[in-house]
Amino acid sequence: MRVLVTGAQGQLGRACIQALTDAGHSPIGVDLPDGDLSIAGVAHQLLTAHEPASVLHCAAYTAVDRAESERDLALAGNTTATQLLAQACEAVGCELTYVSTDYVFAGDAETGYPEDAVRRPINWYGETKARAEEAVEELTVPWRIVRTSWLFGHGPANFVKTMRRLVAERSSLSVVDDQRGCPTYAPDLATLLVRMLDVGARGHFHGTNQGVCTWYEFALEIARLSGLEPARIAPCTTADFPTPAKRPNCSVLLETRLSELGITPCPAWEDALARYVTWLDVDHDADEESVSR
């Protein structure tokens, strides 16, 4: 299958290109140098030029805090680009997979959010992603929305790499311990996305690595696996670490639909993190720093 992957230079886009190739598909990666999807006509031109059977839409504006002040840019990168891509898919009869986020939810659930939970974002980034979901839901061609959370993977910047650097450089640092979520390894999510493509999944899904932790617990495991000193990390509250964008306290995405399709969930987040840290430690950490998004 010919599959167009948007955001091909990002950590999820890269992983999807590899997963599609491994599965015997023919991926076509595009990113901003190939055309700005928020500009009318660009998406249609890409689809007619490459003639994919399916699109994996990984491209997004992901600067959550900057989105509060760059509202137009965030809206264009997330909502407008997805709306135009969805319209182009409708016009040429191409199916669409949209990768969304836990931030479409308010974060006030005690145990987490199932796929059919009501969207109620509490920051502008989440709002732009929620509006994009609405555009995808209007399609008559096959579509799927896959929400994920706390993504990390091969690329120049992510929480794992930031923590490794800070713990190595500082004698102490504080990390938020009252926000819960599901860390997700981009290659594991990419494998899941390709599997969903292969079985013809339709509708809303949640895709994360298994297990739940706080950012503080995540940071402790990063330090431990990296041979650093977890004792340098102290817990703090969200109130102790204010940010321009309000964060959901609970970002846990409950997976209730994958079993219906016979799809094996992603491994535990600890397993995924161990694989990533090992990969970084071998010879890739320094190389990635020079790679631009």
Residue boundaries of the structural domains of the chain: 2-289
Closest CA to 175 of 211, 222, 209, 130: 222
Tokens linked to 250: 């609970």
Residue from 113, 125, 185, 276 carrying the catalytic annotation: 125
Neighbours of 71 (CB within 10 A): 14
Residue 25 has pLDDT above 90, yes or no: yes
279 contacts: CB under 8 Å, gap ≥ 6: 154
The tally of CA atoms less than 13 A away on the side-chain side of residue 8 is: 18
pLDDT tens digit string along 84-124? 999 999 999 999 999 999 999 999 999 999 999 999 999 99
pLDDT tens digit string along 164-194? 999 999 999 999 999 999 999 999 999 999 9
Residue 16 has pLDDT above 80, yes or no: yes
Residue 289 has pLDDT above 90, yes or no: no
Contact 212, 252 (CB under 8 A): yes
- 154: alpha, beta or left? (left if phi > 0; alpha if psi -120 to 50): beta
Please, which pLDDT band fits residue 284 given cuts at 50, 70 and 90?
low
152 — phi, psi (to 5°)? Answer: -140, 150
Please, which pLDDT band fits residue 259 given cuts at 50, 70 and 90?
confident
Active site residue 185: no
Selected from 3.40.50.720, 3.40.50.880, 3.40.50.12780, 3.40.50.2300, the CATH number assigned to the domain covering 2-289 reads 3.40.50.720
